[in-house]
Structure 1
Amino acid sequence: MDNFLNFTEDYCREVANSCTECGLCVEACPVVPLAGLESQDAGQLVSGLKSLSEGKSSTSRASDWLDACNGSGICNDVCPENINVRSWISGLRTIQDVSRTPERDRRKASSDKFRAMSQAIRLLSSMQLPPDVISKITRTKGRGPADVVFYTGCNVLRTPHIVMNMMEILDALEILYEIAGGTSFCCGVTQHRSGDIGSYERVASRTSRAFEEMKAQEVISWCPTCLLQFNENWVNYDKPDYAMAHVTQFLHKYLDKMRSQFANCPPRRVVLQEHDGIPGVTEHVTELLASIPHVELVPVKQNRNFGYVCGGIGETYPDIQRENYRMLLEGAVAAQADCVVTIYHSCQRMLAGAAAQYPLNVLNYTDLISEALGRPSYTDIYGTLARVDTMDTIIETVHQLLKENGVEPNHSQIELVANQMFGEPGFYGSKEEFVKNLEKKS
């Protein structure tokens, strides 16, 4: 624990020395007014960060700003000193968590969150895939040095059809790849955000060593949070031998090859749900979709600056997230689009049930690329469950897959997953009915 924590303290002090206290990061931050900090002097808030970096108390509300951060990354774009302000804030939050909360409590919180996530992922993936496919998308192929490691992360396994799409795309491009996915290859974000630094260092180190042993030229991360954890927190400390990029950056390099393979697809007017926060991702997906025959991208007003991804920010600012979705979906309907396309897996989950309320389909961009390449299609069972009008039709399939996977969920496990699923804004219908039907089948 002391190694990473000491590094983080040194890193924050070093960054603080480069900061000129101009306050541009505060002025650009989308959560400042939401946290009630708009009346604070921007320079004083940044000065407070510098004081915290030096181990001193702050006379400003800098700690409140740390707590409110949604990781949008807009601060990075405006900093004239090219400071990674998001990474600085992440480090200070870690230091703050360690100082605020006893280690035993931090470790328990970390363990409880990780256990709940693991149980939910196991149950949800077992509800959607047969056992041989689960093994295929979570274990390395073991066929020697590969061009890339396709790093899925953990939570995309809640919507595993996306992983299957990506594998089809990589196969179509004749990429030699290893796959690393599931909780065995965790990035450590749960431990890091809980202030459980000892566990974070062990988890991140184990996954990082696994990447190095695969000896690939590049690791491509599906999950944006995993990418940020490794590229903004871990890489400065560990300095691994591999480079990590987002999958969209990798796919964009093969755009010309994909264009030559794209077949005619059904005409579609699509709205892409956009996110800033990870440079180039939205732009790459836009260009990929625009290259598919008969796909017309329709621009609509949306809030692309509010967080680098859907999901966690909604727990802190649920009203803002719901308003963002309403603006996006109503804008898509008004523009006579027939489809909303998501970039990330959490966005797919959050919007999955929109077809129950709007005359729109919700697809991931990998659905469209895989289709255009003539690859097999995979059902979004999670999205089917999210729609109140289709849930009953899929329960029998879910039950059969659980049986094949040897999973017999008890009431508390079903409740755990139901609470997570129906706690998301994209889910409609009755949680109680879902629990009753699943328990009846089990």
Structure 2
Amino acid sequence: MSTNLSFEAAIEMRVDEMVDACTRCGKCVEACPSVKPAGIADAAPQDVISGILDILSDGEGTEASRKWAQACTLSGECIRACDEGVNPRFLLAMTRVAMAKANHDLPTRRRQGLEKYRDLGRDVSMLSQLQLNDEVLERLGQKTAAAIVPSEPPDFVFYTGCNVLKTPHIALLALDIMDTLGVRYQVMGGPSHCCGVVQMRPGDLEMSGRMGTNSIEKLSQSKSGQVISWCPSCYVQYTETTLPALERQRGARPFEMTPFMRFLSERLDRLAPHLNQAVPMCVALHRHPGVAGIMEAAEKILIAVPGITLVDLKQPALGLQGVNLSVLPEFKRELTRNEFQAAREAGIDALVTVYHSEHRELCAHERDVPFRIVNLLELVGMSMGLKRHDRYKELKLMQDADQIVADCADLLAAHAIDAAKAREVVVKGMLADQPLPLRG
């Protein structure tokens, strides 16, 4: 392998290989749950995928093809449908990059990526600081802990990604569970360990590769050569874009990634003896199957908790995570309304989220529905005697930015955060993060 191969050139080679391998059969389009809500159900699947390949070859494509690329929720159904070993989800991501390149010059795209990265860093840092002191932030790999190199390499690196730090009780429960199981790990994550997806979305592949590769160097520290990942967006970005490009550049991958739910499910024999407190609840799982095996692992873990009765609401399971459905806002609202109605009719005690993004979006609905919104790790923690307070939900339920900022006054002072800036982030980054309006 040539070490002189650029990241962007490595990506382009991979795209070209998939374009050549694609038979234009259209099975990926037929399997995609976004086709109907995107308004392209009448387009011939073969024409839609042919248009995608045209865009990737510097063509215009068809209107239906462009709509399909923009409506991707990263459900992964297209990957499972392909018989040729092509990853249509990756090709759609690269189609969006090609479209961005056609619409904007590099300085504009770079500026857009930088602005998104700054916004992400601001929101993640401030919303986590509104809830946590320095000691707990360090435990999550923030503050000075991010620069500490352990004297002995850990067995695993636990990679949080960025946005789970807004709902830190979820990440802390993951650490508590691993501590109980005797897993040796080092925590890394946050904006200083960016996966590069924020830069890739506006079409800046070079900067995306630079950010992702820099983070990969930091993550390559475990004895096992394994990184346990929390965030599904980061997982897809690394495993489908950055790591394959790096492998093409260097001839090998520096590590493999395992999603936390699969990691925990694979150790259920070690987890089960610690699930010794009954949690008598009837629950339903809020499902997003974009990463293969995650929902199956989550269900396996959930039913291992004594006292849990799992109900199937028989609702569509779509997308990578809740936030990815935002490209189809009315469809997302319809799915949410239907799921809530099914949950009411089923009489469940709780709707259980797996990821952080839907927990952020849905948790404030707890005031309007006759069931709780909880994360799966909260139920596991209850059975293990582990407790982490969901401060994010407590704050969001207030539904008043001034009240939220006032309630966090001590931490604002401790972190030297300007109250007006905190209020701005609360309004845009917390209260506006809502798929359906709350009542009243």
TM-score over 0.5 for the pair: yes
Give 3-state SS (helix, strand or coil) of 1:25's partner: helix
Residues 233, 324 of structure 1: alpha-carbon distance in 2 compared, 3 angstrom cutoff: same
- Which deviates further from its counterpart, 38-47 or 282-291? 38-47
Residues 238, 264 of structure 1: alpha-carbon distance in 2 compared, 3 angstrom cutoff: same
- Which deviates further from its counterpart, 133-142 or 168-177? 133-142
* Residue 261, structure 1, aligned to residue 282, structure 2: no
| Counterpart selection for 1:224 from 224, 232, 237 | 232
Percent of aligned pairs with the same residue? 30
| Counterpart selection for 1:238 from 243, 246, 250 | 246
Structure 2: segments with no counterpart, 5+ residues: 248-252
* Residue 334, structure 1, aligned to residue 337, structure 2: no
Superposed, 1:299-378 pairs within 5 Å as: 299-305=312-318, 307-314=319-326, 316-375=327-386, 377-378=387-388
Q: Which residue of 1 aligns with 2:294?
A: 281
Q: Partners in 1 of 2:22 and 2:102 — Cα distance? A: 24
Structure 1: segments with no counterpart, 5+ residues: 432-442
Q: Please give the per-residue CA displacement for 1:351-392, whole angstroms capped at 9, x wherever unaligned.
A: 1112110111111111111221222x1111111122248999
Q: Please give the per-residue CA displacement for 1:59-87, whole angstroms capped at 9, x wherever unaligned.
A: 56423322222211111111121321101
CA contact (8 A) 1:290 1:297 kept: yes
- Which deviates further from its counterpart, 218-227 or 360-369? 360-369
CA contact (8 A) 2:336 2:435 kept: no
Tell me the CA shift for residue 198 of structure 1: 2.3
* Residue 12, structure 1, aligned to residue 18, structure 2: no
| One-letter amino acid of the structure 2 residue matched with residue 425 of structure 1 | Q
Give 3-state SS (helix, strand or coil) of 1:153's partner: coil
| Counterpart selection for 1:92 from 92, 95, 118 | 95
Tell me the CA shift for residue 148 of structure 1: 0.9
Q: Which residue of 1 aligns with 2:66?
A: 63
CA contact (8 A) 1:94 1:193 kept: yes
Q: Which residue of 1 aligns with 2:114?
A: 111
| One-letter amino acid of the structure 2 residue matched with residue 164 of structure 1 | L
| Counterpart selection for 1:169 from 172, 177, 186 | 177
CA contact (8 A) 2:28 2:78 kept: yes
Tell me the CA shift for residue 185 of structure 1: 0.8
Q: Which residue of 1 aligns with 2:250?
A: none
CA contact (8 A) 1:13 1:50 kept: no
Q: Please give the per-residue CA displacement for 1:90-146, whole angstroms capped at 9, x wherever unaligned.
A: 122223322321111111111111111111111100111111111110235624211
Tell me the CA shift for residue 216 of structure 1: 4.4
Q: Partners in 2 of 1:390 and 1:329 — Cα distance? A: 24
CA contact (8 A) 2:405 2:422 kept: no
- Which deviates further from its counterpart, 85-94 or 154-163? 85-94
* Residue 297, structure 1, aligned to residue 310, structure 2: yes
Q: Which residue of 2 aligns with 1:41?
A: 44
Superposed, 1:124-273 pairs within 5 Å as: 124-138=127-141, 139=145, 142-239=150-247, 240-273=253-286
| One-letter amino acid of the structure 2 residue matched with residue 207 of structure 1 | S
Tell me the CA shift for residue 396 of structure 1: 5.0
Q: Please give the per-residue CA displacement for 1:175-231, whole angstroms capped at 9, x wherever unaligned.
A: 000100211111011101111222211110110011114454310110000000000
Residues 218, 248 of structure 1: alpha-carbon distance in 2 compared, 3 angstrom cutoff: same
Q: Which residue of 2 aligns with 1:398?
A: 408
TM-score computed with the length of structure 1 as normaliser: 0.91
| One-letter amino acid of the structure 2 residue matched with residue 300 of structure 1 | L
Q: Partners in 1 of 2:267 and 2:64 — Cα distance? A: 47
- Which deviates further from its counterpart, 163-172 or 231-240? 231-240
Q: Please give the per-residue CA displacement for 1:286-324, whole angstroms capped at 9, x wherever unaligned.
A: 01010011011111122202x11001422x222221221
TM-score computed with the length of structure 2 as normaliser: 0.91
- Which deviates further from its counterpart, 22-31 or 202-211? 22-31
| One-letter amino acid of the structure 2 residue matched with residue 212 of structure 1 | S
Question: How many residue pairs are counted as aligned between the two chains?
Answer: 427
Q: Partners in 1 of 2:12 and 2:402 — Cα distance? A: 53
Tell me the CA shift for residue 54 of structure 1: 3.1
| One-letter amino acid of the structure 2 residue matched with residue 360 of structure 1 | F
Q: Please give the per-residue CA displacement for 1:147-180, whole angstroms capped at 9, x wherever unaligned.
A: 1111000000110111110010000000000100
Q: Which residue of 2 aligns with 1:440?
A: none
Give 3-state SS (helix, strand or coil) of 1:269's partner: strand
Q: Partners in 1 of 2:62 and 2:403 — Cα distance? A: 58
Residues 334, 10 of structure 1: alpha-carbon distance in 2 compared, 3 angstrom cutoff: same
Q: Which residue of 2 aligns with 1:83?
A: 86
Q: Which residue of 2 aligns with 1:22?
A: 25
RMSD across aligned positions (CA): 2.3
Superposed, 1:403-422 pairs within 5 Å as: 403-409=413-419, 411-422=420-431
Q: Partners in 2 of 1:429 and 1:200 — Cα distance? A: 37
